[in-house]
Chains A and B, each alone.
Chain A
Amino acid sequence: MDLALTTYLIVGATFVLYIGIAIWAKAGSTGEFYVAGKGVNPIANGMATAADWMSAASFISMAGLIAFLGYDASVYLMGWTGGYVLLALLLAPYLRKFGKFTVPEFIGDRFYSKTARVIAVIALIVASITYVIGQMKGIGVAFSRFLETSYEVGLFIGMAIVFFYAVIGGMKGITYTQIAQYCVMIFAYTIPAVFISLAITGNPLPQLGLGGTVSDGTYLLNKLDNILVDLGFSQYTAMKGSMLNMFFLTMSLMIGTAGLPHVIVRFFTVPRVRDARLSAGWTLIFIAILYTTAPAVGAMSFYNLINTVQPGPIGSEDGNLLYEDVPGWFSRWQETGLLQWEDKNDDGRIQYYDSNNPAFAPTAAEYGWEGNELTVDRDIMVMANPEIAQLPNWVIALTVAGGLAAALSTAAGLLMAISSSISHDLIKGVINPGISEKSELLAARIAMGSAVLVAGYLGLNPPGFAAQVVALAFGLAASSLFPVLMLGIFNRRMNSAGAIAGMLSGLTFTLIYVFTYKGWFFIPGTNTLPDTPEHWFMGIGPQAIGAIGALINVVVATLVSRATAPPPKDIQELVESIRVPRAS
């Protein structure tokens, strides 16, 4: 069967599954719509949270990032998993005990302030919309590349699917489809990884294969280190960037992860406080299955790629691959423009090396190389992997379905957070508190429908700054939401003045720092300083600044709360009550 037909069948089957679940899991009340009736099993919630969390970026881009950055990509691996420790220990159980529907609702109630609630809603919407654009683009790209439709048609199909199950089922529908999506994406990710690990190292477990030996008996990582050095690059396993930047970037990603509302709210759906703790553990197990496989996929696909273009000894006359001998996947990806070759020295062979390394220039000249000839888009590493390893068509089709599952599940979770903050926090909380349950449910569905349309519009017309704003999503969550949530639980003395001052100062600082390097309001060319490591303050990049913003938030909030009146007695009692699991 040809690839396109197989892909249609497999992707079609997964879509039918999602729609079937949606019809089965219709939401009948606001409780079901916002938090799935608080009846989700902790293991099931762990799976749904993992799918919610792992986006198109985790599925498609991360292994490629690891392949080309080596050790330095560890910031993403640790940053996007370590945040769950913070979430499990510092937020999830207490917010579950609080027992309401949204994150801004906690901030509004705990700090007895509609202003605080509205600031939280704004931070939530900016952070979530940023993310949704990326997911929508992922859906459009996956369709256009593998299903021979246009980007727009692909996007419309994706929107229709999300619209259907999110509007009908709310959190309940989203949760159960996310469980199915997790299964699809984890199979799609691990099956090719197992085959590749087996082929390269003889060990079927990618996590062990990464430490295994290749055919000539040397360790894979050692081999990669040596090849890369021989080609003028740095060692794969060595630190290349600034340690301070790595430190703060990891910290920002961890705090940001723990502060992202679409993840936090998933822990509102389990029955008890102890389930919220347990569920965070299961979530991390389900995430770790992919996150510990990704480094193996990255290293092995990179090793495959280098071996393909450099089959003989480095520097020898016929050590490089003749272009006329390139394998089928090479030409197929070349057609998409994501893999490019330019024969700079006119020898008909492909040279891949670091031509930006001045120390390597004499060696390259000696070899007769006149510049790096191969440009590889990082995103193709996962998608091209099954083809490179010569796996059957159904595995390639499954990878496409997996990428779509990752994008759809995250998009739905984000849209849920956006729409509930509009219908529950703004409409019921601020504009019309007297709204009936039935009208609020309708408002929630309308908000969800509109959010899908807005996300679709932004996916069709992605603002030029979309990629830049991603740095901001984590920065915002880290510098505004996480600190006040934590202080709200652990500091009984924290009052509304402190929380508002803390959120605003953390937010303002982070925004100014990001704008300084990325352009004011992301308008290209308006940046005050060039976005390069030597201009960063102490070498800390704009992506890594959220951790400092969080620190400023905590300090300002604490100082302001000390200088102003303590919170009212009923609020102090609220804090006491969320600290113990059993209702008193």
Chain B
Amino acid sequence: MASSKEEAAIAYWKENVRLLITLLIIWFVVSYGLGIILAPALNSIVIAGYPLGFWFAQQGAIYAFIVLIFVYVFKMNALDRKYDVHEE
């Protein structure tokens, strides 16, 4: 019994870490990737008056950060319930 509970805890943590890594890769790509490293190249594309690299650096990355946190909130709530570790 104790071992299956332990296994569940390990599986919960693994899924949590996998989710974190996925979200942090997106976090890195929208800010450091599109907002800095690729920004000079992306600036030749202009969408709705914004050079694209500039838009990511001063607007887009911030919006993406918000979305990332809310995705994390919803996924974690679901994960907590799946492994029955959610709070009352």
Contacts and interface: CB of A to CB of B under 8 A. Distances in A.
A580 interface: yes
A243 B39 CA distance: 10
Given A212-B49, A243-B37, A247-B32, A89 B58 contact: no
Contacts of A292: 58-59, 62-63
Given A71-B39, A213-B49, A85 B9 contact: no
A290 to B, nearest CB: 10
Given A85-B23, A274-B87, A288-B66, A78 B50 contact: no
A579 B11 CA distance: 12
Contacts of B20: 89-90
Contacts, number: 135
A360 interface: no
Given A213-B49, A581-B80, A89 B63 contact: no
A582 to B, nearest CB: 5
A422 B20 CA distance: 34
Given A77-B58, A280-B69, A281-B70, A239 B9 contact: no
Contacts of B85: 580-582
B66 A285 contact: yes
A452 B46 CA distance: 50
A316 to B, nearest CB: 28
B86 A274 contact: yes
A207 B59 contact: yes
Contacts of B51: 221, 237
A324 B57 CA distance: 40
Contact of B24 (A89, A237, A280): A89
B48 interface: yes
Contact of B76 (A90, A208, A274, A284): A274
Contact of A239 (B23, B40, B72, B87): B40
Contacts of B40: 238-239
Nearest to A291: B62
A364 interface: no
A246 B68 CA distance: 23
A93 B77 CA distance: 12
Contacts of A420: none
B57 to A, nearest CB: 4
B73 A281 contact: yes
Q: Place the interface of chain A in its size category.
A: 35 or more
A490 B85 CA distance: 18
Interface in A7-60: none
A250 B54 contact: no
B20 to A, nearest CB: 5
B86 A84 contact: no
Contacts of B32: 247, 250-251
A151 B61 CA distance: 39
A211 B49 contact: yes
A194 to B, nearest CB: 17
Contacts of A90: 20
B27 A82 contact: yes
A288 B62 CA distance: 7
Contact of A284 (B9, B16, B37, B66): B66
Contacts of A284: 65-66, 69
Interface of B: 9, 12-13, 16-17, 20, 23-24, 27, 31-32, 35-37, 39-40, 43, 46, 48-51, 53-55, 57-59, 61-63, 65-66, 68-70, 72-73, 76-77, 80, 85-87
The 9 closest A-B pairs by CB, nearest first: A211-B49, A74-B57, A281-B69, A219-B49, A237-B54, A295-B58, A211-B50, A580-B85, A88-B69
17 contacts: A71-B57, A78-B35, A81-B62, A89-B69, A210-B49, A210-B50, A219-B46, A237-B53, A238-B40, A239-B39, A243-B37, A274-B76, A277-B76, A284-B66, A490-B17, A579-B16, A580-B85
Given A78-B31, A82-B27, A210-B59, 10 more contacts: A78-B62, A81-B61, A84-B65, A85-B27, A210-B50, A250-B36, A273-B87, A278-B73, A292-B59, A582-B80
